[in-house]
Structure 1
Amino acid sequence: MIEAISAARAQMLAYLALRSAPTAQLRTVPVAADRGSRRRRSGLTTPLEDDTLTLTMRADARAAAADTDHHAVRAGIRALGLDDFLSCRIPGTEVHLGMSRKLFAACERLHEEDLAIARRTPGLRAEDQPPVDLELSDEAQEEQRLTQRRIFREQQEEARPRLRPRLRDAYEHGAARDWSALLRRPQEPELDLRDDESLLEAATPETYVAVSRYGLPAAHA
């Protein structure tokens, strides 16, 4: 089982990118729910073009989609043994990042806690910065900023024992929440069942990454 705080902290930038992306730019991609069955080439990361289980279940989902409506397909992919990971293309790149509901829910809770700590740390947030004191040297102002960040980090560490069960609870219950509820938006992101051969995909138990094969540098002889 993952340590929810560490996993959420490591993926916070990806979470914020997904959280801020317009719904039209978001999609969910099906990945085999049985993490332990994936063929791993290196560490926890599985290239999905080598993951026969995911490819087979995706084909089954596409076949089911031809005979039913979109909402029924979304409800039925779990019965096929698939999770749908939230994903979006990072603007200005050919990189798609994504994550599971569980990890997204843990990141959401940690972000809320970080914001609460920031509000309790005077002057840390940009909107709370006092007017520049022209009598202070650049070095003194930098020292103030470093002190504020140190206080923030210390409060984060002090909060770990209290946050650990809360993030574990968010992680465990995240799988049962719809993406519309996690994103706090009325619409579900589009479920992407295309057989897109232009993407090279990989997944860990809770994260997803894809790049366009056409955006990669040419192989050298």
Structure 2
Amino acid sequence: MHVSSGAADDPIGLSDAFDVPVFLRHSSPLNPQGRPWPNAVRAASAAWPITGLPESDDYLIRTSWREVLHAAITVGRDVTPWLANVPRLAELEIISRCSPLRAYLRRERGIGPDRRVGYRIVANEVYQRGTEITAKGAFSYRIGMTMAEWLCWGQLGMGHSLHAEDSYPPNTSPALWDVTARKPDLLGVHPLQPANWLVEAKAQRRLSGAKLREGAGQLDLDGIVNGPHRRVLCGTSLEDCLFMTVDIDTREERHADPRGASGPPGPVLPPDPATDDEALYRLARSSMLIYLALLSNEERASVVPVGAAVDPRRAQVRRRASAVTLIESDQSSATLRSRLVELSRGSAELSAQVGVDMLASDVPGAGITVGMSRRLYVACQSLISAEAVLAERADSEAEQEYQDPMARRVEDETLSGGMAAARPSASPPRWERAEPEVQNWWRLRTYRRLTQQHRQDLLAAARGGFEEGNEYNWRSLIDREPPISLGRPQQLESATADTYLAIDRGLIS
């Protein structure tokens, strides 16, 4: 057996930039179109706007591997109730979210519509010829979720998402949300009205219209989700290259910004965690894997300085739509680091500079480095402590609810998809005899209910830590003086206002 003609395994080189064709359509109700023809994928060229919601068009978005990995690490279910006491497993979870992308994708040169040589992402030889169908199915979930977060958070201005398996949309009956089989994947909040977003992610090697129509059905939640909300269907395809289809439901446009579809004159920025408690809660939730990875590697962590302009609200000019700043293009980081050459490399001195001092550590086996700011570190620390109390309560209350006949009815309806009668209370089921998967389902369900009931307490915990974070230095937080690292030649760096990610140059072939 030989690889196909033209197969390549060249390293990523000096840059990780590539282009993603994005076919965006507005409709009401959602009416996803069929798969774009290959000629249309190659011809997509419209510039992605940085104001408002884009109009229907065939766009070409220049992005980077780092931006995709930011999304991969932060999207998904909340794992902290299980990993809080075993933080080293967070490193493995980061690997599980990033490694499939490295295993099955590669970057190749292509000719753009303006005849300039660019790059695109394609499935590699392993995926195309050496991977089982079931493995491709699992990968479809991972790439679909990652690209949906990359687009909605990284490009469209939505805040970090929550996963629908452990959260509820606003104005939703928990009982109805438990029994519906049509849940979307992600729940988001956007600065433009309607603020609440329901996002469904679909992906296939060759994305089909049937798969997209299935996703539209999962967003059809009339009678389950009340109040204004926007429905967004994100499709990801790998043939002939990685591209996306995005269908946005316009039925709630009457709730939109009265200034029109283009929104305000400036760029649409995600909700600001510095002033928005819900945005901070979502940021801390999405960053827990990074926090736990740092917690388990504190003895090897260093402080990486980045400039203040990585926060788009502090940048004088907003030149691009992405929520992620590439450090090699950020003058504020270059200026800050040139000043630090004269210092004695202490993080206490760095704290007095105009910038962000990120605590960062390598993720063993992943080829990446992750980090976060002091204020987010303490916010995560405070939030995980508050969540641990609820997780302990969930363990005890789950057993009680399991033996309650009315609560059992919810499980019956969830598993059967129909209206099942309540089990008789005369012979309640024995908790200790239940299968581990059943016990875990009930713990998750109970924990989700408790986090909703005590949402304000969790918001307050995150806000308190966030505000306190700037009162500390890293020495007081991790009981040692971490050295300062001004970046490594073999790495490509990126940052948001509170998170940091760097990759080895040869991460993806």
Tell me the TM-score normalised to structure 1 length: 0.80
2:482 equivalent among 189, 202, 205: 189
Deviation at 1:144, TM superposition (A): 2.5
Partner of 1:204: 496
1:4 offset after TM fit, Å?
1.7
| Contact kept in structure 2, 1:28 and 1:86, CA below 8 Å | yes
Conservation of the 8 A alpha-carbon contact between 1:40 and 1:46:
no
Structure 2: gaps spanning 5 or more residues:
1-271, 274-278, 398-429
Name the structure 2 match of 1:128: none
Which of 351, 355, 359 in structure 2 is aligned with 1:86?
359
Shift of 1:176: 1.9
How many residue pairs were aligned?
A: 198
The CA deviation at 1:83 is: 1.9
SS at match of 2:323: coil
CA distances 1:81-112 after superposition (whole Å, capped 9, x unpaired) = 12210111111111111111111111101110
Distance 1:135 1:197 in 2: 55
Report the counterpart of residue 33 of structure 1 in structure 2: 308
CA RMSD across the alignment: 2.5
Matched, 1:46 2:325: yes
1:130 — aligned with what?
none
1:56 aligns with 2:323: no
Task: Output the amino acid matched with 2:485.
Answer: D
**Tell me, which stretches of 5 or more residues in structure 1 are unaligned?**
125-132
Quote the residue 1:96 is aligned against: 369
Residue 288 of structure 2 corresponds to residue 12 of structure 1: yes
Corresponding position: 1:112 with 2:407: no
Q: Equivalents in 2 of 1:118, 1:41: separation in Å?
A: 40
Quote the offset at 1:213 in angstroms.
Answer: 0.8
Aligned equivalents of 1:60, 1:75: Cα separation in 2 = 14
Distance verdict in 2 for CA 1:18–1:104, change over 3 Å? same
SS at match of 2:494: strand
Q: CA deviation at 1:123?
A: 5.6
The SS at the match of 2:472 is: coil
Instruction: Give, in whole Å, the separation in 2 of the partners of 1:22 and 1:177.
Output: 16
Distance in 2 separating the partners of 1:39 and 1:135: 57
Question: 1: CA distance between counterparts of 2:467 and 2:319?
Answer: 24
User: Are the counterparts in 2 of residues 97 and 209 from structure 1 also a CA contact under 8 Å?
Assistant: yes
Partner amino acid for 1:190? Answer: P
Residues 18-63 of structure 1 show CA distances to partners (whole Å, capped at 9, x for unaligned) of 111141x21110011342227654421000000011112201211x
User: Hey, which bits of structure 1, 4+ residues long, moved more than 4 A?
Assistant: none
Inter-CA distance 9–100: structure 2 relative to 1 (3 Å threshold): same
CA-CA distance at 1:142 after TM superposition: 2.6
- Say whether 1:172 aligns with 2:467: yes
| 3-state SS in 1 of match to 2:480 | coil
- SS state of the match for residue 282, structure 2? helix
Q: Which moved more, 1:171-180 or 1:85-94?
A: 171-180
Q: Give the match's secondary structure for 1:109.
A: helix
Identity %: 30
Residue type of the alignment partner of 1:20:
S
Letter in 2 for 1:27: S
Q: In the TM superposition, what whole-angstrom CA distance separates every residue of 1:171-220 from its partner, at most 9, and x where no partner exists?
A: 1220121223323xx31222113x52211001111111000113331xxx
Aligned residue number for residue 438 of structure 2: 143
Are the equivalent residues in 1 in contact too, given 2:345–2:483 (CA < 8 A)?
A: no
**SS of corresponding position for 2:445:** helix
Cα distance in 1 for partners of 2:326, 2:448 equals 36
2:305–2:337 CA contact under 8 A, matched in 1 = yes
- C-alpha change, 1:106 and 1:79, in structure 2 (3 Å) is closer
TM-score (norm 2): 0.36
SS of 1:55's equivalent in the other structure is helix
Work out whether 1:162 is the aligned partner of 2:162.
no
Higher RCO structure, 1 or 2 (CA under 8 Å, sep 6+) = 1
Distance 1:190 1:39, change over 3 A: farther
Q: How far apart, in 1, do the equivalents of 2:304 and 2:432 lie?
A: 55
| Cα pair distance change 1:135/1:173, threshold 3 Å | closer
Structure 2 CA distance for partners of 1:144 and 1:210, relative to 1, 3 Å = same
Q: Supply the distance in 1 between the matched residues of 2:501 and 2:293 (Cα, whole angstroms).
A: 13
Q: Secondary structure at the match of 1:44?
A: coil
Distance 2:327 2:484 in 1: 17
Taking the aligned partners of 1:94 and 1:135, their CA distance within structure 2 comes to 42
Would you tell me which structure has more helix in proportion to its own residues? 1
Q: CA deviation at 1:164?
A: 1.7
Which has more radius of gyration? Answer: 2
Work out the CA distance in 1 between the residues paired with 2:431 and 2:306.
56
Deviation digits for residues 92-140 of structure 1 (CA, Å, limit 9, x no counterpart)? 111111111111111101110111112222369xxxxxxxx898464xx
Task: Tell whether the 8 Å contact from 1:200 to 1:210 is kept in structure 2 after alignment.
Answer: yes
